[in-house]
Amino acid sequence: MMRRIAVAGPVCVAVCLAALVPLAAQNIPTRAGPAAQQWNPPRTADGQVDVQGYWRQTNNVTTYSLERGEADRAVHIKITGQRAATGKQIVEPADGLIPYLPWAAQKFKYLVSVHEGPERVVDLDPVARGFMEGVPRINLQTGFQILQMPNQVVFLYEYGHHFRVVPLDGRPHLDSHLRTWNGDPRGRWEGDTLVIETTNFSPKSDFMGSHENLRLTERLTRTGPEILNYEFTVDDPTTWTAPWTAMIPLKLKDELIYEYACHEGNEAIPNMLRGHRFEERQATAGKSPQQ
């Protein structure tokens, strides 16, 4: 399914792009119940559920506000300028908190602290520096288009011009020494649910403190004419005490997709660092940043 592309102006900081997209502030529903499962979805010629189209989340779900509460959302707003979601995205464990090992909790706390007040370019979020987001993070920040074929499914992201090709032919994963930002995905159908398992992540591709030991399992299930439930489970015993799962409902969109674009020589990173240095000088002088 092809969509029209409209050209927007330059975007200087990748992580702030999602702020341009008006999203509804609503609580995130739980997993689909029996009524949703009775819906008969459309199918492709080979009998697979048709998951093609451009899908976008209906909540402002974001990496920094995935866990909990107003304080967590305030951190995200400060870092990115984007209003973050209400409700709980994490459905397992029941308390909605990521089960960090102690060292990993300290690492993530440190990463958030340097994002809030960066001293160096390397302290900034990798996305703000033009790197790939990796999965599942990119699915939490923006929408994507799915193209479907008998032996593969392709995810196209205007955000960063990224793409993922997911084989469905049963081939094994790549050798463990071959690693990429988005990992090495392998897909299969379990009934009417598309299941994608991804390994072989690059050490540079950090998701909530985990990278090369991450094992990601995604489940995509159509529960209505315009709804695709996106559920992911992440497992890394070197980072978390147990696997944990989040669920995000996606809505089918028939609209313009605005082009994502940066430009050479933009001043976003220097300006972000200057802004934090200004805040520090004002704090030292006993003034608010607005004075």
pLDDT tens digit string along 12-32?
333 333 332 333 333 444 455
Q: pLDDT tens-digit profile of 171-199?
A: 999 999 999 989 999 999 999 999 999 99
**Confidence class for position 84, pLDDT limits 50, 70, 90:** low
Q: pLDDT tens-digit profile of 219-259?
A: 999 999 999 999 999 999 999 999 999 998 899 987 677 77
Please check whether residue 43 lies inside any domain of the structure. no
Task: Check whether 103 has a pLDDT greater than 50.
Answer: yes
**Confidence class for position 33, pLDDT limits 50, 70, 90:** very low
Cα–Cα–Cα angle for 138, 235, 209, rounded to 5 degrees? 60
How buried is 212 (Cβ within 10 angstroms: 0-12 exposed, 13-18 middle, 19+ buried)?
A: middle
What pLDDT, on the 0 to 100 scale, is given for residue 2? Answer: 39
Q: How many domains would you assign to the chain?
A: 1
Domain range for 24 is 5-31+49-277
Please check whether residue 119 lies inside any domain of the structure. yes
Task: Check whether 70 has a pLDDT greater than 70.
Answer: no
The answer for 134, left when phi > 0, alpha when psi is -120 to 50, beta otherwise, is left
**Confidence class for position 131, pLDDT limits 50, 70, 90:** confident
CA distances from 19 to 60, 78, 109, 161, 257 (A): 9, 12, 24, 17, 15
What pLDDT, on the 0 to 100 scale, is given for residue 83? Answer: 62
What pLDDT, on the 0 to 100 scale, is given for residue 151? Answer: 94
Residue with the larger pLDDT of the pair 64 and 15: 64
Please check whether residue 40 lies inside any domain of the structure. no
d(CA 150, CA 178) in angstroms, rounded, equals 26
Please check whether residue 69 lies inside any domain of the structure. yes
Residue with the larger pLDDT of the pair 210 and 36: 210
Please check whether residue 37 lies inside any domain of the structure. no
How many residues appear in the chain?
Answer: 291
Please check whether residue 290 lies inside any domain of the structure. no
- Closest residue by Cα to residue 160 from 16, 60, 273: 16
Please count the other Cβ atoms lying within 10 Å of the Cβ belonging to residue 162.
19
Q: Among 23-32, 60-69, 121-130, 160-169, whose mean pLDDT is lowest? A: 23-32
CATH no. for residue 262? 2.40.128.20
d(CA 46, CA 150) in angstroms, rounded, equals 7
